Chain A
Amino acid sequence: MRRFLLLLALACAASQWMAGASLRVPDRVQAGQELSIPTSGSGEATLYLFGPSHVAKRTVKLGAPVTLAGDELASAGRYVVVLNGESSAFFVTAGPVSTVAFIARPSRVPASTKDVVSGTVFLFDRNQNLVLSPEPVSFSLAVPGAPDVRSTQTSKGGVAWTRLDSSRRAGAAQFVASAGAASVRRVVQEVASEPCNIRMHAERAKDGAIALQTDPIRDCAGNPVPDGTIVTFTSVDENGRSTVDARIKRGIAQAELPASQQATISVAAGVVIGNEIRWGGKQ
């Protein structure tokens, strides 16, 4: 009985050897590259390939190399190849950076503000695999007529991010992220921040009302505060308080307040308060 079992084991081992399906595959292969797997033995066997996006089953001839085409190995990840009862696993890794997915936030920021613009990039190879190896990524934020704001980061896990200050000058800023040969541009609108000071003057209108008009309203860096920003004019007299909200139009705000013999008129935009006028008395 013992001799029979021994013979059986030897026969099994011999048949396995004759089939000769030993698998030698590299640990890593770059995405999209062809892979040749040498085989030995003779006859035919079934090859299985299980990958992240590709699965195959086909009959191959033993003794000749088995070729896995580049497009079978396009997706990064773990692959298992099984041939005649033997199997090996290997990883397909991303190739060089080919495209950059760039998220720039927000799309509109106040000028001359610290760490207000954020940029995040995801690096992909030509097969849309996330490039996990560390890669230098450069960011630049440029407004015409102002020095560029730049930052270089090294990606980690396919991602790199930065925070940048906005320029002192308002305008359409070109926010560019570059890695390898890929470069992506976004536009961030830099607008004047809060008004620096507001100055108004008053005159009597034809109907007796008080006509108010501001000087051009700018932020502290000299950028004109955007049209549409609300400016509030307030008049306090013996009859009480009158308030008019006006939008900045072509850089200035205008309003008319009801006629009054004597009043105190003030102007404000957001938290910024401008000059005060004593109407009917000294200004």
Chain B
Amino acid sequence: MRARIHVRHLLFGLLAVLIAAAAPLLLSAAETGFAVVLDASQSQPRHVEETTMASVQRDYGHAWHSMAAAMEENKVALLGSDFVGLAKEQLSQAIAEQGKSGLKRRYIDHGHQVRVVFYSPDGSAMELQDTVRLEIQLLDGDKVVHSDQGTFHFLALMTPAENSWKVRLLESVSGF
């Protein structure tokens, strides 16, 4: 009996150590966002500075990560501050309506190839063309009612805030 209790304690201890070890990895994945390759070589009319590129790459990937989490869990709060304006309004509405109907959307993201096609002369807006490999599952409860897998095209409008870039518009388009 005493030996069995010792084994149980040992197992709990081992589990606790594993969780503690995995926690930083999980956190870093959540903070990083999805993989984004950014090409600003054709940006017009303004050249994109290296630090700006790094910020946009980070913030756009993070925005997708937030959107995927919010859409799957039907929690508007998970959008965080990555989206503003129309993009935030649209996503919030979609999430609210999903929640009411017991529906969900799951994005399985396989990476983004993003081109900067416009960067305003004053640096206040940037337009991106995103070609993303994605699996989109539409669920009713836990039942998948539709699944799409392939390459999708998104057009995004981003604007700078104090220390990050925000997605102001995100639209799925048929192509570029």
Chain A interfacial positions (CB closer than 8 Å to B): 27-28, 46, 48, 50-57, 75-78, 80, 82, 87, 89, 91, 103, 105-106, 118, 120, 122, 128-130, 132, 156-159, 161, 163
Q: Mark B82-93, 1 if CB is under 8 A from A, else 0.
A: 000010011101
The number of inter-chain residue pairs (CB within 8 angstroms) is: 101
Residue B148 contacts which of A89, A106, A122, A128 (CB distance < 8 angstroms)? A89
- Contact, CB under 8 Å: A57 / B140: yes
- Contact, CB under 8 Å: A54 / B97: yes
Question: B5-13, B21-29, B167-175: which lies at the A interface?
Answer: B167-175
Closest beta carbon of chain B to A210's beta carbon, Å: 46
- Contact, CB under 8 Å: B127 / A50: no
Instruction: Provide the residues of chain A in CB contact with B172, threshold 8 Å.
Output: 52, 77-78, 91
- Contact, CB under 8 Å: B105 / A103: no
A54-B94, A56-B101, A80-B146 known; A48-B124 Cβ under 8 A? no
Instruction: Provide the residues of chain B in CB contact with A105, threshold 8 Å.
Output: 121-122, 124
A53, B146: Cα distance in complex, Å = 18
Chain B residue nearest to A85 (CB atoms) is: B145
Instruction: Please tell me the size bucket of the interface on B.
Output: 35 or more
A18, B69: Cα distance in complex, Å = 39
Chain A residue nearest to B93 (CB atoms) is: A53
A28, B129: Cα distance in complex, Å = 20
Residue B173 contacts which of A48, A80, A82, A91 (CB distance < 8 angstroms)? A91
Instruction: Provide the residues of chain B in CB contact with A161, threshold 8 Å.
Output: 45, 118, 120-121
Instruction: Provide the residues of chain A in CB contact with B132, threshold 8 Å.
Output: none
A186, B164: Cα distance in complex, Å = 28
Q: Mark B60-102, 1 if CB is under 8 A from A, else 0.
A: 0000000000000000000000000010011101100110011
Chief secondary structure at chain B's binding surface: strand
- Contact, CB under 8 Å: B94 / A53: yes
Instruction: Provide the residues of chain B in CB contact with A52, threshold 8 Å.
Output: 90, 94, 171-172
- Contact, CB under 8 Å: B169 / A130: yes
- Contact, CB under 8 Å: B103 / A57: yes
Contacts A48-B103, A57-B103 given; 6 further ones with Cβ under 8 A? A52-B172, A77-B173, A82-B145, A105-B121, A120-B120, A157-B155
A118-B121, A130-B169 known; A57-B105 Cβ under 8 A? no
Closest beta carbon of chain A to B86's beta carbon, Å: 6
Instruction: Provide the residues of chain A in CB contact with B105, threshold 8 Å.
Output: 50
Closest beta carbon of chain B to A240's beta carbon, Å: 46
Question: In this assembly, does B35 line the interface, its C-beta being within 8 Å of a C-beta of chain A?
Answer: no
A50-B103, A91-B173 known; A130-B122 Cβ under 8 A? no
- Contact, CB under 8 Å: B118 / A157: yes
A195, B58: Cα distance in complex, Å = 47
- Contact, CB under 8 Å: A54 / B93: yes
A164, B118: Cα distance in complex, Å = 18
- Contact, CB under 8 Å: A51 / B94: yes
Chain B residue nearest to A94 (CB atoms) is: B171
- Contact, CB under 8 Å: B103 / A55: yes
- Using a CB-CB cutoff of 8 Å, which residues 94-117 of chain B contact chain A? 94, 97-98, 101-103, 105, 117
- Using a CB-CB cutoff of 8 Å, which residues 135-172 of chain B contact chain A? 138, 140, 145-146, 148, 152, 155, 157, 169, 171-172
Chain B residue nearest to A117 (CB atoms) is: B121
